[in-house]
Amino acid sequence: MGALNSAVRIRHDLHYRLTEARKRTDDLFKIVREEAMYDRPIAERHRIIFYVGHVESFDWNLLAQRAFGLQSFNESFDKLFAFGIDPVGGGLPIDQPSDWPKREEIDAYNARLRDELDQAVARTLANPSEGHPLLLSMIEVAIEHRLMHAETLAYMLHQLPAGRKVRAPKEPVWKTARAKSHLVDIPAGTATLGLKHGDNAEFGWDNEFEGAEAFVPGFAIDTYNVMNRDFLQFMQAGGYQNRGLWSDEAWKWKNEDGISHPTFWRREGNLWMYRTMFGDIQLPLDWPVYVSHAEATAYAKWLGRKLPSEEQFHRAAYGTSEDGVERDYPWGNEAPNEKYGNFDFQHWDPSPVGAYPRGASAFGVHDIVGNGWEWTRTVFEPFPGFEPMSFYPGYSANFFDGKHYVMKGGSPRTAACMLRRSFRNWFQPHYPYVYATFRCVED
């Protein structure tokens, strides 16, 4: 009976988490002024209104028929809101605001959809012997898919002019001592990547399996992220004009798109300004620099260094001086909370590097989870033993094209559940809007 009760409780928690995740996306859309709902802040992406329908229709398309046998009540909306855009080399979308349904129609679709799903979820979760064998994983997928959009939508809304947004409460004034970064030695040792099937009931996306140990030779890594201050020096030294620092593809992209500074920066007279979520401020020199993979790679090369590999990231973040002993999180095994880093929607923007000393890893590497995803030099590929999820086969497999790089860690807008050690994020190297920073290694 005890086991049955706890199974029901876990299932009930899942429904609660789905409801909480919905609040995240609801809150996010509330920062968009009504007149800006049909804007397209990033040329390569859909208009904002698409995502209002998408985060709901995704759940419906995933669960309704497959898990609960529910019939569609609006097939055209199910299709219209089904897919986002991954802008690799394609043309720009040309749809007009008038091509999209009215907000009221979408709100009505969303409300009915949530209501029908909630009833089915509650009914099915109350009885552990009922439902699709993969039901729990499917609901986890719905939750994390939505939370990922809560983050990537923040990147998109970041590019929406401040006047088109409802300003959030004031951001904190940080009183962080100026950090001095240096290289710290990480001794050779093993790192556990990914999750293993069968060990426990932990949820992971398909690309997190099959987990395995990797031996990582010794190397040295920056104790702090590269800051805006550091990146300014790279720019002043002519980094963007130095052909030798860029791959052929990156050089072409940089020139064609006229890239000469990080996307979050803007020149105003003699000053560099920084675009925060709700307005421009003078460039905060001690914030981690947010740049594309191509820019991060050029900077590392300028110093004769590299970006870390995915395995090196794991060693620096989770390894300890006792080989074979790894932590769940850089700071230890305690679940993520506000003592340990800038993540889980606490802030809209970065904090100064080193603002969370208690979150440092066993080797004294700061902010390695939180305050910005960290670029690695590892191309996103499947782990040996990878199998796509039957109910979402393209989630990872569509991106194993050699054109995406692994990011690890997490940003201010990454949900706590996705700060797990095995979670892998990925982006293409020239997409400049991501909350991604980096640090360098010598190996």
For residue 219, the 8-state DSSP code is: E
d(CA 373, CA 414): 9
Structural tokens at position 102? 């009215």
d(CA 418, CA 390): 21
Residue 197 exposed, middle or buried by CB count within 10 Å (0-12, 13-18, 19+): exposed
Q: What is the size of the binding site for Fe ion (CB under 5 A)?
A: 1
End-to-end CA distance of the chain: 55
- Part of the chain binding Fe ion (CB under 5 A), chosen from 76-84, 291-299, 312-320, 344-352: 76-84
- Part of the chain binding Fe ion (CB under 5 A), chosen from 77-85, 99-107, 126-134, 403-411: 77-85
CB of 364 to Fe ion, least distance (A): 37
| CB nearer to Fe ion: pick between 84 and 87 | 84
CB of 87 to Fe ion, least distance (A): 14
| CB nearer to Fe ion: pick between 59 and 310 | 59
| CB nearer to Fe ion: pick between 39 and 151 | 151
- Part of the chain binding Fe ion (CB under 5 A), chosen from 82-90, 341-349, 369-377, 380-388: 82-90
| CB nearer to Fe ion: pick between 45 and 366 | 45
Q: CB 378: neighbour CB atoms within 10 A?
A: 19
CB of 188 to Fe ion, least distance (A): 40
| CB nearer to Fe ion: pick between 95 and 249 | 95
CB of 53 to Fe ion, least distance (A): 11
| CB nearer to Fe ion: pick between 84 and 128 | 84
Q: Which residue has the tokens 């429904």?
A: 15
Cβ partners under 8 Å of residue 239, min gap 6: 245, 298, 299, 302
| CB nearer to Fe ion: pick between 147 and 245 | 147
Q: Which residue is nearest to Fe ion (CB)?
A: 84
Q: State the Cα angle at 289 between 27 and 48, rounded to 5°.
A: 30
Cβ partners under 8 Å of residue 230, min gap 6: 181, 289, 299
- Part of the chain binding Fe ion (CB under 5 A), chosen from 71-79, 84-92, 375-383, 433-441: 84-92
For residue 392, the 8-state DSSP code is: B
CB of 29 to Fe ion, least distance (A): 15
CB of 90 to Fe ion, least distance (A): 17
CB of 121 to Fe ion, least distance (A): 19
CB of 54 to Fe ion, least distance (A): 6
Q: CB 284: neighbour CB atoms within 10 A?
A: 17
| CB nearer to Fe ion: pick between 146 and 430 | 146
Distances (CA, A) of 382 to 192, 208, 399: 15, 8, 10
Q: CB 274: neighbour CB atoms within 10 A?
A: 20
| CB nearer to Fe ion: pick between 84 and 93 | 84
| CB nearer to Fe ion: pick between 84 and 279 | 84
CB of 401 to Fe ion, least distance (A): 18
- Part of the chain binding Fe ion (CB under 5 A), chosen from 79-87, 114-122, 217-225, 384-392: 79-87
CB of 24 to Fe ion, least distance (A): 14
Q: Which one-letter amino acid corresponds to residue 9?
A: R
DSSP 65-130: HHHH-PPPS-HHHHHHTS-----SSPPPP---GGGSPPHHHHHHHHHHHHHHHHHHHHHHHT-TTS
CB of 85 to Fe ion, least distance (A): 10
d(CA 339, CA 50): 36
* Backbone dihedral angles phi then psi of residue 96, each to the nearest 5 degrees: -105, 155
CB of 115 to Fe ion, least distance (A): 21
| CB nearer to Fe ion: pick between 84 and 284 | 84
Q: State the Cα angle at 15 between 11 and 18, rounded to 5°.
A: 135
| CB nearer to Fe ion: pick between 332 and 394 | 394
Site string for Fe ion, 25-64 (x = CB under 5 A): ----------------------------------------
β-partners of residue 375 are: 407
- Part of the chain binding Fe ion (CB under 5 A), chosen from 80-88, 183-191, 245-253, 318-326: 80-88
d(CA 141, CA 200): 17
- Part of the chain binding Fe ion (CB under 5 A), chosen from 83-91, 232-240, 262-270, 315-323: 83-91
Q: What does the binding site for Fe ion look like in residue numbers (CB under 5 A)?
A: 84
